[in-house]
Amino acid sequence: MNKVALVTGAGSGIGRASAIALLNAGYHVVLAGRRADALAQTAADAGAAATRALAVPTDVCDPASVQALFERTRDAFGRLDLLFNNAGSGAPAVPLDELSFEQWKAVVDINLNGAFLCTQHAFRLMKSQTPRGGRIINNGSISAHAPRPFSAPYTATKHAITGLTKATSLEGRAHDIACGQIDIGNAATEMTEPMARGVLQANGELAAEPRMDVAHVARAIVHMASLPLDANVQFMTIMATKMPFVGRG
């Protein structure tokens, strides 16, 4: 039986790399993201495997849009074996007291509420399908452990994702639904390009930071997804070896 995966934020970066890796591993993959053109590019980058891709433009902040996404998935494939909650966004790097409520809320809506909405619909589908169950992987980020300067919304939501991962893992036990979290540090994507030029450190200095090939993250996702449902990677940290995270920078 061909397995079915759904990747949010599949139009760029980690989402694109992971979706292509899953397609190359034999999955049918639902590509979810806000921009249809970006999703089409992800499918094109998968080459011959793109015949197993389904692009569904989606706003994970919108409950109706998320419902439509999962209905399309069920109608097209009849089941869902893997959800990768990857969609995420940050706010401008300004002091906490200078953030607007709208900037705060936009990050919470995408990073946390979006992951919750997708998890809720995945639960409903995974509980009712035959064979039942499935796997959910949440993108937690290194920011689930430690903040960067001026990153209150992003850091708060990524810490919250850890709580969502634990709660989902616990509630999923009775329904053969496994949930784990991957915490990623400095994968080389468009979003992290400024790190190579220099980013603000906790001591106030600017410093360039090492990055790693995003393909390493994609392979980790495929590994986590490939486990039988009686085994789970609860938490995985994958990062550029020399990035300033462990220790004092």
Return the HEC string of 99-135.
Answer: CCHHHHHHHHHHHHHHHHHHHHHHHHHHHHCCCCCEE
Question: What's the confidence (pLDDT) of residue 25?
Answer: 98
- Domain locations in the chain? 4-239
248 has pLDDT over 80: no
Which of the 8 DSSP states describes residue 92?
-
**pLDDT tens string 71-100:** 999 999 999 999 999 999 999 999 999 999
Q: Is 27 a catalytic residue?
A: no
Which of the four pLDDT bands, split at 50, 70 and 90, describes residue 191?
Answer: confident
158 has pLDDT over 70: yes
Structure tokens at 131: 């064979």
Beta strands in 116-221 (DSSP E): 134-139, 177-185, 187-188, 199-200, 206-207, 212-213
Name beta bridge partners: 4.
28
Cβ pair 230, 10 in contact under 8 A: no
2 has pLDDT over 90: no
The catalytically annotated residue of 154, 181, 220, 239 is 154
Half-sphere CA count of 162, side-chain side, radius 13 A: 15
Name the architecture of domain 4-239.
3-Layer(aba) Sandwich (3.40)
125 has pLDDT over 80: yes
Could you give the 3-state DSSP secondary structure of residue 1? coil
249 has pLDDT over 90: no
Question: What's the confidence (pLDDT) of residue 196?
Answer: 85
